[in-house]
Structure 1
Amino acid sequence: MPALAIALCGVLITGCSGGGDDAKPQAKPPAEPKPLAAGALRPLLLSQADLGAGYVQVQEKPDSGKFDDVSVQGCSALEKLGQSGDETMFAAKAETSFTYRDATLGEELHSDRPSVLSSKLGKLFGAYTSCPTYTMTAGTTPIKVKVAKSATPQLGDEQFAYTSTMELPSGAQVLKTMAVCKGSVAVILVGAPALVDRQMKTAVGKLPAGS
């Protein structure tokens, strides 16, 4: 994690400094970019014009506890993550979603200090990829989930990705979750693997250079 690396470097510099006239004051690390507000994130979301023909934007309904009845069994890291959900929240968030034929594509933009994005996303994706299989219960329906790490494109400053296969009553559904950090903004796409792979470059391209 960047914060830990900076702290360790500080210890090494202090331990190796010779002192006396040859010792030089250490320059302070550059200040991190500040988080963007939610209002500044919304224009950076993907639009139908960005995605092209065939995509239909879904009108989001206000969050009314739609995930309150979802729980996880068989993966201690995810169970702990669910108990400490506030710890993985960021300073600002904006989201949208689309349908494309019979597939879906969801996008979330999160903003915070770069070191916070890196640390929390590393923890989040680390938890999801720590267990190759687990069971997710939605209401009273148990759903078996298989997870595998996925390759990531060389975009932004840092990337994370995994693919999950859910054994639903209607059949298996494969979803890919990918995050790319660029400055103080992280893009997360979730949906059909082909759509995520196809649109991530477009999503990252909408972020300002100094975000």
Structure 2
Amino acid sequence: MRISTSGTRRWTLAAALCGVLITGCSSGGGDGGEAKPHAKPAAEPKPLAETALHPLLLTQADLGTGYVHLQEKPGGDKFDDVAVQGCPALEKLGQSGEEKMFAAKAETSFTYKRDATLGEELHSDRPSVLSGKLRQLFGAYTSCPTYTMTAGTTPIKVKVTKSATPDLGDEQFAYTSTMELPSGAQVLKTMAVRKGSVAVMLAGAPALVDRHMKTAVGKLPARG
């Protein structure tokens, strides 16, 4: 997830790193299960196109007062200067880019009262692909309780803990990251909920992620 880094200095770096903490890396195929010898696999729903995902994103009207939408600038950086050390699973994922992780993607981001951020990504693919890659992605991010992230020349210590998830959709994943920034500790929560062939991911201030995930999932189409 890319979150704009324009705005006050208090959350600029945290907002940029928030993008890296969600899908700032790519992954391989989904988990495979044992095939039943005489069972014909059911046809899976096809992925939605990017144009169909955009209307499903959260808006200022969904969020309420105090939120400002951040406009993405074309040709912005892709966090090429951000690297991870001390966590083999994340280092392995970071060897390739994020853009083709799923078949389709749409994203948006907001600031809240100028000192907190909330970013959203919608991804669509076949349910088995979404499930397998989400498990791999969140598994990698929660595989190391601590690691170091370098943004440019600034080393940042990151602590990660698994988080509770709400009973929404078909699958849920969440973790919380505490980053020791030069300006002080910043806590960010990343949560994903898969509903059929669409997954919604929210990342940002923990209270904002918890507050708006139900609304975000409610905008997704019925399972099909």
Q: Select the residue among 64, 68, 84 that pairs with 1:52.
A: 64
**Deviation readout 1:5-60 (Å, 9 max, x if unpaired):** 2xx242xxx4xxxxxxxxxxx45232111000000000000000011111111111
Identity %: 81
After the TM superposition, which residues 1-211 of structure 1 pair with which residues of structure 2 at under 5 Å, given as runs? 4-5=32-33, 8-10=34-36, 14=37, 26-85=38-97, 89-101=101-113, 102-210=115-223
**C-alpha distance in 1 between matches for 2:88 and 2:99:** 16
Alignment RMSD: 1.7
Q: Which runs of 5+ in 1 are unaligned?
A: 15-25
Aligned residue for 2:211, secondary structure, equals helix
**Aligned pair in 2 of structure 1 residues 3, 67: CA closer, same or farther (>3 Å)?**
closer
- Larger CA deviation: 57-66 vs 120-129: 57-66
Aligned residue-pair number = 195
**Deviation readout 1:57-91 (Å, 9 max, x if unpaired):** 11111243331010000000000010144597100
**Deviation readout 1:83-112 (Å, 9 max, x if unpaired):** 144597100000000111111100000000
Aligned residue for 1:209, secondary structure, equals coil
**C-alpha distance in 2 between matches for 1:150 and 1:85:** 26
Q: Which runs of 5+ in 2 are unaligned?
A: 1-28
Aligned residue for 1:94, secondary structure, equals strand
Contact 1:103 1:192 in 2 (8 A): yes
Q: Which has the higher helix share?
A: 1
Task: Give TM-score, length-normalised by structure 2.
Answer: 0.83
